[in-house]
């Protein structure tokens, strides 16, 4: 079901038809982008849940400007990726997208949500911190930087002990 954030922004569940748009957006946010075929198989997998943020363009066509994917197994879920189009970053859109996704994942039975984030990724860490994710581990040397050096992945978890709220208060 669509969720309207305002008159224009809509959060909608993703399906395989969005694989190409996901691949294009993913390439704007990551050094090692995933191929369209990878997104297609992820979006076809029953254990994968995808939420997209759509905005109408000048012609009124709905354009994907951000998305989040997670995979669930038993009562745990893991965020596989989240990305916002560069021209739409810093406006709180990812806060809204992630909050809707947390609610969707909790709704399908997950009791906690894991993810990995580069210790150097300040915007992503701010986003996850705002939504109550806490560090439960780290993987040193997990990511490769453009210069060939390595950075640490933080493993974060958010437990759903009660109904998901609207994020941690500041």
Ligand X SMILES: CC(C)(COP(=O)(O)OP(=O)(O)OC[C@H]1O[C@@H](n2cnc3c(N)ncnc32)[C@H](O)[C@@H]1OP(=O)(O)O)[C@@H](O)C(=O)NCCC(=O)NCCS
Residue 158: CB minimum distance to ligand X, A? 13
Residue 7: CB minimum distance to ligand X, A? 19
Question: Which residue, 82 or 110, is less far from ligand X as judged by CB?
Answer: 82
Q: In terms of residues, how long is the chain?
A: 170
Residue 57: CB minimum distance to ligand X, A? 19
Q: CB-side exposure of 158: number of CA atoms within 13 Å?
A: 28
Binding site for ligand X (CB under 6 A): 29, 82-84, 89-95, 117, 121-124, 126-127, 130
Residue 98: CB minimum distance to ligand X, A? 8
**Nearest to 97, CA basis, from 72, 55, 66, 134:** 66
Question: Which residue, 109 or 142, is less far from ligand X as judged by CB?
Answer: 142
Question: Which residue, 16 or 27, is less far from ligand X as judged by CB?
Answer: 27
* Beta strand ranges found along 14-169 (DSSP E): 48-56, 62-73, 76-84, 112-118, 134-144, 150-159
Q: Which residues fall within 8 angstroms of residue 56, CB to CB, at 6 or more apart?
A: 8, 62, 63
Question: Which residue, 106 or 115, is less far from ligand X as judged by CB?
Answer: 115
C-alpha span between 70 and 86 (Å, rounded): 21
């Amino acid at each position: 079901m669509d969720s309207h954030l305002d008159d224009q922004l809509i959060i909608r569940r993703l399906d395989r038809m969005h694989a190409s748009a996901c691949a294009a957006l993913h390439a704007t946010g990551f050094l090692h982008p995933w191929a369209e075929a990878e997104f297609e198989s992820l979006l076809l997998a029953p254990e994968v849940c995808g939420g997209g943020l759509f905005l109408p363009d000048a012609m009124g066509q709905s354009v994907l400007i951000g998305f989040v994917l997670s995979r669930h197994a038993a009562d745990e879920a893991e965020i596989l990726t989240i990305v916002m189009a560069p021209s739409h970053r810093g406006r709180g859109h990812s806060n809204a997208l992630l909050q809707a996704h947390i609610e969707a994942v909790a709704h399908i039975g997950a009791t906690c949500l894991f993810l990995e984030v580069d210790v150097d990724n300040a915007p992503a860490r701010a986003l996850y911190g705002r939504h109550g994710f806490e560090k439960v581990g780290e993987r040193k040397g997990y990511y490769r930087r453009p210069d060939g050096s390595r950075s640490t992945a933080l493993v974060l978890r958010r437990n759903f002990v009660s109904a998901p709220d609207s994020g941690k208060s500041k």
